[in-house]
Structure 1
Amino acid sequence: MQRPNLLFVLADQWRSSAFGFRGQDPVRTPHLDALAADAMVLTNAVSNYPVCSPYRAMLMSGRYPFGNGVPLNVNSLTAPLGVGLREDLTCWSDVLHADGYYLGYVGKWHLDPPTDEDAIHGEGVREGCVWDAYTPPERRHGFDFWYSHGCCDDHLHPHYWADAAPREAPTQVDAWSPEHETDVALGFLRDAARRYREDGAPFALTMSYNPPHQPFDTVPSRYLDEYRDLSAEELLVRPNVPAGSDEAATIAAQYFAAMTGVDEQIGRLLDALAAEGLADDTIVVFTSDHGMQLGSHGLMFKNVWYDESLLVPFILRWPGRVPARTDDLLLSAPDIAPTLLGLLGAAVPDEMQGRNLADVVRGGPGDRPDRALYLRPAGGFEDTTEDTRGLRTHDRTFVVQRTGDGAEHLRLYDLTKDPYQQENVADQRPGEVTTLRAALQEELAHCNDPWA
């Protein structure tokens, strides 16, 4: 029997509530809705560190930030600190490459530190630092086909480094990036399908779309037209959004429009798999690196402990092998690499700190995690002297914030009574705080976090 293929789709900043089938955010996603109907849908997939680079490093390496080299977002301010995905790590892609898989990567990477030469690309310079970066072949962790950029692309005028192109010769494109990237990916899939049929060589393609991440106003009007006339009340339906969130409403229309556009491109990928006769032989995953507040709790973006940022979509389809269902499995970002390897029948490196949940995903018995970490170390672009750690369980959110003066601030939300995390009950429940603090220490010790 041939080994299964993998299509792994990552959309940047897509929160878990934003699907038509969820019935929460007012967004139209027909292709992902259809995928979800035939797939395992997780309601408790956690972005343990809800910001781009740290999540992506956990995803690739199966290790937590202080073991993978990315404890902060990667940019020119953190590059002198050595922040960047460690070249010596064995990522899931390295394992599959060694096992004979044909690997492709298309889209945003954001795991390599910028150099002085990277500053020449204007779209990669924002708010006083450089975000974009070229990734040398030796740092691509086994990917054979490469069509990627670092970060901060212009969605309507993107650029990419293609395969052997040098740093000084990126490909400039005048097209909406998800549509163009899908065109490129369809070429990869046709070639990979031919290899699979003729030689039995399986493939793994990672599609990393930057939208619906900002800049929000760079979305084609054909998608925005569906949302531009909706009122703030129609767009911002979560009860933890304060009145008068006009900026959030404007962004919401653009954010949901980009999602509808990305959904259309995912539909093209799924159609291509079906046309090549590979739908049953390919594991398809759709997820995101983090969510977005979009006005909830008066906040706009991410990198906080609230579910709008912390919870991400996770949809996995493998016909006949993974039962279609909705599951409350608590999945952490470092669990994805060992779980994918387990599903694909590959060896899981001992250095990976995440859990191999492949048996559980298949619908069988196995240990189901009862907690997931929340991490926000001090420092980095966002700035902060505040060092924060926490836990997300099925029914609680617990957070410890340490400020620069050594003071601690505790937060505890009872999700059974307060699903929108509006009442901090830490002072009222000292017993729960003690228990959760001990559990937090255990988890931090497991992943060698110096906070512990």
Structure 2
Amino acid sequence: MKTMTSNVDRLNALLGKLALVSTLLLTSCAVDTESNHQTTTDKVETFNSINGKPNLIVIVADQMRRSSMEFWQQPEFQGALNTNSDPVITPNLNALADNGVVFTDAIANFPLCSPYRGMLLSGLFPHKNGVTNNTRVGRPEVGLKPDIPTLTSVLRDNGYNTALIGKGHWHNNLPMFDGNNRFVGTTTAPGGHYFQGTRYDTYIPPGKARQGIEYWYQSLGHNHKNPVVYTNDTELSGVEEGTPFHPKRYSAVDQANVIIDYIGNTRAQRDNNKPFAILWTMDPPHSPYNNISDTDERIFNTMYREIPLGLLLNRPNASIERAKAAAAIHFSMITLIDREIGRVLTTLEERNLLNNTLIVFTADHGEMMGSHGKMAKNVYYEESIGIPLILYFPDKLIPQQDDLLIGVPDIKPTVLGLLGLEHQVPTDLDGTNYAPYWQNSSNIDNEPERPKSSLYYGTGDAYGVRTHEYLYVVNSDGNLDALFNNVEDPYQLSPLTLKDIPPEDVTTLQDELGQWLTRINHPWALARKHSQMISYPEE
């Protein structure tokens, strides 16, 4: 669906004028001018495991919607989305998309930070994995169950070096710090303090809660230019583990530096004879995004400052007034993280590792950015639940676009399948291994059935399904919370009632929701709640 054509044409013309500038700023990404950190190109070696297992980097942006990638504007992707794409500049994501599997309908089933991370690691929905809301002060019961086999623990047990660089945000928030944010592991003096800096995250100490992750570099808070970091790389930090330090550089830049060093194994951070698996969970483009100091000033001034608000917020459901202070800064942060991804890709290429590394790019949830008058996430609208997802695995995957209704619990089994560890996928997962769909193989006997819907798992006990045509949500009172036709109304401006759609479509939506809740053993299904709105399978 094409809307606001004149604005889109004007935007494309403006972006064209910025193309040369973006190339100059973003392609020379081997050098970090902020930290004077330079990629080492001498003594380039191939750090693969002896048996040739592939490496893995999972990159998770924080609060970035599916439409916020530049390649949607390229001819080969025209029409893949039925809405306007955002005016962002992302040359490195473009390169991944051109040579990877791009998902047009990937869904953040529970579009909130901690529940996403719980599902990503466990392959299970929140009522099973323990992360039923954001972890924070006042919710000591919310946290990822430590004994669940997770993506990272399975990889460690199968011979991988494992690393976290970035956010954790899946652990119970408990007052086990002293007054200086040093973790002491007790609620009695000198403990008894919560982590100071954010109520929504906490340090994850060594042990089962780290989910099999060996190299630890955890960034906390959303002070992008001065994050708090806890690490077991004491040579890097200069402080003992459990004591915070401040890298004093932009979080995404700092994390890219750490990843580049980890790949190069500059301080013997890992075993060269094993493949590596890196979970890179970025802080941006999450808020704060209301001040130029929240982003890279050069990117903002050169690429986004001059774009009119009407072109930045080029969706008919967007409130320009609501998002006017944030839009350009938020989009410039996406360009910033794209630049840092480019630095890591350059390192992989220089070290002859790129062709043997599976790269997953995604986000924990979307960003409303003024649509329907809302900001941030945790609502059922497409701007919130629609996330980017790209799989890049040269010579292993057939580049293509796929409208698979893939959800977050599917990522763990699919990644394990792509790495050749399909036999290590636990049988009790809620997610599905979809790896056979895109591999260079003519054998389709083992391809799983394509889902007709993806489950929406909302805060406040609301559940629904998102199909290719509809969004259908039932609230805790058993009433219709949302019904939209995403084909005829892609910006979800015209709420529907059940009487507005064909009876057979009502039946399909209610059947799909009932099948999902039954399959995952959800309490609603066990109690057969709201059966007037949900059709549970016969017992």
Letter in 1 for 2:170: L
Partner of 2:225, secondary structure, is coil
Report the equivalent of 1:202.
Answer: 275
**Aligned pair partner of 2:439 in 362, 382, 386:** 362
Partner of 2:259, secondary structure, is helix
Displacement of 1:264 after TM fit?
0.3
Cα distance in 2 for partners of 1:164, 1:447 equals: 39
**Aligned pair partner of 1:3 in 53, 70, 73:** 53
Kept in 1: contact 2:108–2:385 (CA 8 A): yes
CA deviations 1:127-183 (Å, max 9, x no partner) are xx722311011111111111003x423111111111177675112121110001110
Letter in 2 for 1:401: N
**Aligned pair partner of 1:130 in 182, 199, 202:** 199
Instruction: Give the alignment of 1:297-316 within 5 angstroms.
Output: 297-316=372-391
Cα distance in 2 for partners of 1:316, 1:281 equals: 13
Report the equivalent of 1:351.
Answer: 428
Kept in 1: contact 2:174–2:194 (CA 8 A): no
Distance 1:360 1:236, change over 3 A: same
Cα distance in 2 for partners of 1:230, 1:300 equals: 20
Cα distance in 1 for partners of 2:358, 2:241 equals: 33
Name the stretch that deviates more: 258-267 or 135-144. Answer: 135-144
Cα distance in 1 for partners of 2:367, 2:136 equals: 21
Distance 1:221 1:211, change over 3 A: same
Name the stretch that deviates more: 41-50 or 166-175. Answer: 166-175
Name the stretch that deviates more: 52-61 or 357-366. Answer: 357-366
TM-score (norm 1): 0.91
Displacement of 1:288 after TM fit?
0.3
Cα distance in 2 for partners of 1:174, 1:362 equals: 42
Letter in 2 for 1:143: I
Kept in 1: contact 2:175–2:194 (CA 8 A): no
Letter in 2 for 1:408: N
Cα distance in 1 for partners of 2:226, 2:65 equals: 25
Cα distance in 2 for partners of 1:123, 1:220 equals: 31
Partner of 1:375, secondary structure, is strand
Displacement of 1:408 after TM fit?
1.3
Q: Which has the higher contact order (CA 8 A, sep 6+)?
A: 1
Displacement of 1:363 after TM fit?
6.2
Report the equivalent of 2:113.
Answer: 52
Cα distance in 1 for partners of 2:107, 2:496 equals: 22
Instruction: Give the alignment of 1:3-402 within 5 angstroms.
Output: 3-23=53-73, 24-79=85-140, 82-118=141-177, 130-138=199-207, 139-149=209-219, 151-163=220-232, 168-191=242-265, 199=273, 201-216=274-289, 217=291, 218-225=294-301, 226-242=303-319, 245-346=320-421, 347-362=424-439, 365=444, 366=447, 367-378=449-460, 387-402=461-476
Report the equivalent of 2:513.
Answer: 440
Cα distance in 2 for partners of 1:98, 1:407 equals: 44
Report the equivalent of 1:415.
Answer: 486
Cα distance in 1 for partners of 2:501, 2:389 equals: 32
Cα distance in 2 for partners of 1:40, 1:311 equals: 16
Cα distance in 1 for partners of 2:506, 2:483 equals: 8
**Aligned pair partner of 1:429 in 497, 501, 504:** 501
Displacement of 1:277 after TM fit?
0.1
Cα distance in 2 for partners of 1:195, 1:300 equals: 40
Displacement of 1:120 after TM fit?
5.5
Cα distance in 1 for partners of 2:130, 2:269 equals: 35
CA deviations 1:279-338 (Å, max 9, x no partner) are 111101100000011111111111111111111000111111101111111111000001
Displacement of 1:117 after TM fit?
3.6
Kept in 2: contact 1:123–1:152 (CA 8 A): no
Letter in 2 for 1:349: P
Cα distance in 2 for partners of 1:36, 1:123 equals: 42
Name the stretch that deviates more: 91-100 or 221-230. Answer: 221-230
Distance 1:192 1:203, change over 3 A: farther
Displacement of 1:426 after TM fit?
2.3
CA deviations 1:232-269 (Å, max 9, x no partner) are 20110011114xx2240221111001001000000001
**What runs of 5+ residues in structure 2 fail to find an aligned partner?**
1-50, 74-84, 182-192, 235-239, 526-539
Displacement of 1:361 after TM fit?
3.1
Letter in 2 for 1:368: R
Cα distance in 2 for partners of 1:220, 1:91 equals: 35
Partner of 2:523, secondary structure, is coil
Distance 1:15 1:158, change over 3 A: same
**What runs of 5+ residues in structure 1 fail to find an aligned partner?**
379-386
Q: Give the % identical residues.
A: 36
Kept in 2: contact 1:153–1:159 (CA 8 A): no
Kept in 1: contact 2:161–2:214 (CA 8 A): yes
CA deviations 1:71-120 (Å, max 9, x no partner) are 111101222xx110110100011111011101111001101122224585
Partner of 1:172, secondary structure, is coil
Kept in 2: contact 1:12–1:288 (CA 8 A): yes
Report the equivalent of 1:383.
Answer: none
Superposition CA RMSD, Å: 2.3
CA deviations 1:4-40 (Å, max 9, x no partner) are 1101111101110001111310111111111111111
Q: Specify the structure having the higher radius of gyration (Cα).
A: 2
- Number of residue pairs aligned between Structure 1 and Structure 2: 433
Cα distance in 2 for partners of 1:233, 1:191 equals: 47
Displacement of 1:373 after TM fit?
0.6
Report the equivalent of 1:384.
Answer: none
TM-score (norm 2): 0.76
Partner of 1:337, secondary structure, is helix
Letter in 2 for 1:444: L
Report the equivalent of 2:76.
Answer: none
Kept in 1: contact 2:175–2:195 (CA 8 A): no
Kept in 2: contact 1:124–1:131 (CA 8 A): no
